Amino acid sequence: MEGKIAFEEHFAIPETISSAHDARYAGWFPAWPDIKRRLLDLEELRLPEMDKHGIEIVILSLHNPAVQGIPDAKLAAEVARKANDTIAEFVAKRPDRFAAFAALPMQDPDLAIAELTRCVMDLGFKGTMVNGFSQVGDPNTVVYLDDPRYLPFWEKLEQLDFPLYLHPRDPLVNREPVYDGHPWFLGSAWAFGVETAIHALRLMASGLFDRCPRLNVILGHLGEGLPYMIWRIDHRISQTPRGIPARRKMADYLGDNFYLTVSGNFRTPTLVDAIMEVGSDRIMFSVDYPFEKTVEAVKWFDELHISERDRRKIGRTNALNLFKLEGSARAASR
């Protein structure tokens, strides 16, 4: 399929890749030197790969944990602004092919609101990607997005009518002894998914979407396992409600306030389950570049045994509508 749109596609700036980051990622990915090169690249490698595989538009986002892993709020704000200015300058050269998500200093909700507003209103960004919880004040203090301090941020996001992509990050290892001696389950193999799933469930259970019903949150990897488990979650909560603030079932929020991408989860039965739970109007194509290979994502997606109507919705038109991309020169011509 030509004209695909992808938006779990990452970049980096030198300030967000430290020697510790190098050491950690090198342990996960034997191909880390090439991945790092592709993260730092904006112009040389991306566009040829997009052209080769029928991807028309990419929305770029800062890799994880980046700003969320900087405990000092002022420094986090400085790094976020630099990353956002860097990608805005690049997007301005090719607005027909690239767009951006804002990186935000969630360590300080007021600073986050100010930077979100600047990015969306002044720079034309299409929403934000937040890399899970933020470390606030010191490296061992974590704050999730259901914390009451973030309600004004969510209200602003709803007012602006753009989505938040809730991207994974690892839990702090010193808080999760279950991974001791089992490093192969950290990262994208397991820890990313379950960490993001419980974060999303916390948002649902908090009553956030009752207060802000027009909010849209995006989950990658076909929903981090939630479509498969959502019935049982609701079933067991209904047996022992324990004063949950949410007014509706978790499945209702999943279907009404969340979008899912296929990024990094190129598995047809999993996609079918996600379609059954949330519908093809709320599923979208992505790759997870450069941590996943574009050729694998595209070959699987283009050969899927689904209707061409659903393929076009998932591959293109759902994203056009959610991110308000209709103004793109090439998009408008289709």
Q: What is the pLDDT of residues 50-101, one digit of tens each?
A: 999 999 999 999 999 999 999 999 999 999 999 999 999 999 999 999 999 9
The enclosing domain of 40 has a CATH number of 3.20.20.140
- pTM listed for this prediction: 0.96
Q: Considering only CA atoms, give the Rg of the chain.
A: 19
Query: What are the two backbone dihedrals, phi and then psi, of residue 33, each rounded to the nearest 5 degrees?
Result: -55, -40
Q: Do the domain assignments include residue 214?
A: yes
Interval 152-209: pLDDT, tens: 999 999 999 999 999 999 999 888 999 999 989 999 999 999 999 999 999 999 999 9
Residue 334 lies in a domain: no
Contact 234, 201 (CB under 8 A): no
Whether 252 is a known active-site residue: answer no
Cα–Cα distance measured from residue 31 to residue 25, given in angstroms and rounded to the nearest whole number = 9
User: Where does the pLDDT of residue 28 fall: very low under 50, low under 70, confident under 90, or very high at 90 and above?
Assistant: confident
Q: Say if 180 falls within a structural domain.
A: yes
Total domains present in the chain: 1
- Taking the C-alpha atoms of residue 159 and residue 172, their distance in angstroms, rounded to an integer, is 33
Is the pLDDT at 278 greater than 80, yes or no?
yes
Q: Does residue 71 have a cis peptide bond before it, meaning omega lies within 30 degrees of 0?
A: no
CB 288 within 8 A of CB 24: no
Residue 114 lies in a domain: yes
Residue with tokens 């753009």: 162
pLDDT band at 43 (very low <50, low <70, confident <90, very high): confident
Specify the range with the lowest mean pLDDT, choosing from 16-30, 106-120, 159-173, 202-216.
Answer: 16-30
State residue 149's pLDDT score: 98
Q: Is 330 among the domain residues?
A: no
Does some domain include residue 132? yes
% of the chain surpassing 90 pLDDT: 90
Instruction: Find the helix or strand (DSSP H, E) in which 200 lies.
Output: helix 191-205
On whether residue 332 sits in a domain, the answer given is no
Can you give the residue range of the structural domain that contains 147? Answer: 4-325
Query: Integer distance in angstroms from the first to the last C-alpha of the chain?
Result: 13
Indicate whether 36 belongs to any domain. Answer: yes
Q: Which residue in 108, 110, 288, 310 is the catalytic one? A: 288
